[in-house]
């Protein structure tokens, strides 16, 4: 595996593949890699000739009181994990390499679907994500890019942005990787105390219970209220418990597929999860 820290270096590393018209798969991450990230890379390896993974803790997607400074940075360990799953090129740029010294005058802003869910609790977050993903798409120029369904809203935003801005990139959504007890893997799980880690799977339990209730036609608002109560009783501070269509539109019919979304805090750690409830075949 090659590791590149500059755009120039990355271009040189990818030049032979571009000339040979090999397909390039791309996985964007903030590092501190776990099996969730590695499953994106495995999926990319299946579908593309060559896989590029970026590790970049993007400052502009963090709010002023968020965990940018403390975000776990484990490049050495990440690099070994990536080599083991067959990543071809690791792109690990500095902030200076990505944003330079000049004032940034352009922001990519996706409208509407960024105003709900995490967009409401984290103002500006998705502008930061859309901007850095646009930059990374332009730098890497992949044929296919892989994003986790763990961040369902992010995936929907990137799909919309890719369509609106005519990126010739296929966007592939990869299912959530979970721990054995159901907790969605996340770099932020490392912030949990042992006791909080025991409580955390309640999120997934509440989602699967809700899924069963909805498939037995229990009223949606009642089901959402029950999830909220379950979380509060377990000690979470709930940010949101919501349902939208897979495209993030309001739910209007009872027989359409819906996605249940949760964001909740255990202590200072904010966890998110979601579950697709299918009504169609
Ligand atoms: P992050 O490093 O948190 O920015 O995540 C990088 C990519 O990995 C994003 O596309 C995430 O949606 C994806 N990802 C993170 N955790 C998981 C997980 N548990 N299952 C599937 N994808 C994940």
The pLDDT of residue 122 is 95
Indicate the top mutation candidate among 150, 200, 269 to test ligand 1's pocket, ranked by most ligand atoms within 8 A of CB: 150
b (16+ CB within 10 A) / e for 56-71: bbbebbbeeeebeeeb
For residue 30 and ligand 1, the question of a CB distance below 6 A is answered with yes
Residue of the CA atom closest to atom 10 of ligand 1:
147
Binding residues: 30-37, 61, 148-151, 154, 185-188
pLDDT tens for residues 106-122? 999 999 999 999 999 99
Measured in Å, how far apart are the chain's first and last C-alpha atoms? Answer: 42
For residue 176 and ligand 1, the question of a CB distance below 6 A is answered with yes
For residue 36 and ligand 1, the question of a CB distance below 6 A is answered with yes
For residue 37 and ligand 1, the question of a CB distance below 6 A is answered with yes
Residue of the CA atom closest to atom 22 of ligand 1:
148
Predicted model pTM: 0.98
d(CA 54, CA 5): 10
Q: Which atom of ligand 1 is nearest to the CA of 178?
A: 19
d(CA 262, CA 254): 20
Q: Which atom of ligand 1 is nearest to the CA of 37?
A: 8
For residue 174 and ligand 1, the question of a CB distance below 6 A is answered with yes
What count of residues does the chain have? Answer: 281
Low-confidence ranges of the chain (pLDDT < 50): none
Going by C-alpha positions, the residue among 129, 126, 130, 137 that lies closest to residue 170 is 137
The pLDDT of residue 119 is 97
In the chain, alpha helices (H): 7-19, 35-47, 75-84, 95-99, 118-121, 125-140, 152-164, 194-199, 202-215, 220-234
The domain over range 187-274 is classified in CATH as 3.40.50.300: no
The pLDDT of residue 127 is 98
Rounded to 5°, angle at Cα 251 from 249 and 252: 115
Q: Same topology for domains 2-174 and 187-274, yes or no?
A: no
The pLDDT of residue 215 is 92
For residue 58 and ligand 1, the question of a CB distance below 6 A is answered with no
In CATH, the architecture of 2-174 is 3-Layer(aba) Sandwich (3.40)
The pLDDT of residue 156 is 98
For residue 133 and ligand 1, the question of a CB distance below 6 A is answered with no
The pLDDT of residue 255 is 85
pLDDT tens for residues 207-259? 999 999 999 989 999 999 999 999 999 999 999 999 999 999 999 987 899 99
19 CA distance to ligand 1 middle (Å): 31
- Give me the residue spans of the domains in the chain: 2-174, 187-274
DSSP state of 167: -
Q: Which atom of ligand 1 is nearest to the CA of 187?
A: 3
The pLDDT of residue 113 is 97
Q: Which atom of ligand 1 is nearest to the CA of 176?
A: 20
d(CA 213, CA 140): 44
Binding residues for ATP: 30-37, 148-151, 185-188
Q: Which residues are catalytic?
A: 37
Answer yes or no: are the C-beta atoms of 172 and 62 closer than 8 Å: no
150 CA distance to ligand 1 middle (Å): 6
Answer yes or no: are the C-beta atoms of 122 and 78 closer than 8 Å: no
């Amino acid at each position: 595996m090659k590791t590149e820290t500059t755009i120039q270096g990355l271009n040189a590393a990818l030049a032979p593949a571009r000339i040979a018209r090999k397909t390039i798969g791309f996985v964007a991450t903030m590092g501190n890699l776990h099996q969730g990230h590695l499953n994106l890379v495995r999926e990319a390896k299946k579908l593309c000739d060559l896989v590029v993974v970026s590790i970049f803790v993007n400052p502009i997607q963090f709010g002023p009181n968020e965990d940018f400074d403390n975000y776990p940075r484990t490049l050495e360990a990440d690099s070994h994990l990536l080599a083991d799953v067959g990543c071809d090129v690791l792109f690990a740029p500095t902030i200076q390499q990505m944003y330079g010294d000049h004032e940034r005058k352009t922001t990519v802003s996706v409208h509407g679907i960024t105003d709900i869910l995490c967009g409401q609790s984290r103002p500006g977050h998705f502008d930061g994500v859309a901007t850095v993903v646009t930059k990374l798409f332009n730098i890497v120029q992949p044929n296919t890019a892989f994003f986790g369904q763990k961040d369902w809203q992010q995936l929907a935003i990137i799909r919309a942005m890719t369509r609106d801005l005519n990126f010739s990139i296929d966007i592939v959504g990869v299912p959530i990787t979970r721990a054995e007890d159901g907790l969605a893997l996340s770099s932020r799980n490392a912030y949990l105390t042992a006791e909080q880690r025991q409580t955390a799977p309640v999120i997934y339990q509440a989602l699967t219970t809700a899924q069963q209730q909805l498939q037995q036609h229990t009223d949606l608002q009642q089901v959402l209220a029950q999830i909220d109560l379950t979380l509060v009783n377990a000690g979470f501070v709930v940010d949101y418990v919501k349902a939208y269509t897979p495209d993030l539109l309001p739910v209007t019919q009872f027989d359409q597929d819906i996605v249940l979304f949760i964001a909740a805090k255990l202590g200072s750690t904010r966890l998110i999860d979601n579950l697709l409830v299918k009504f169609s075949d």
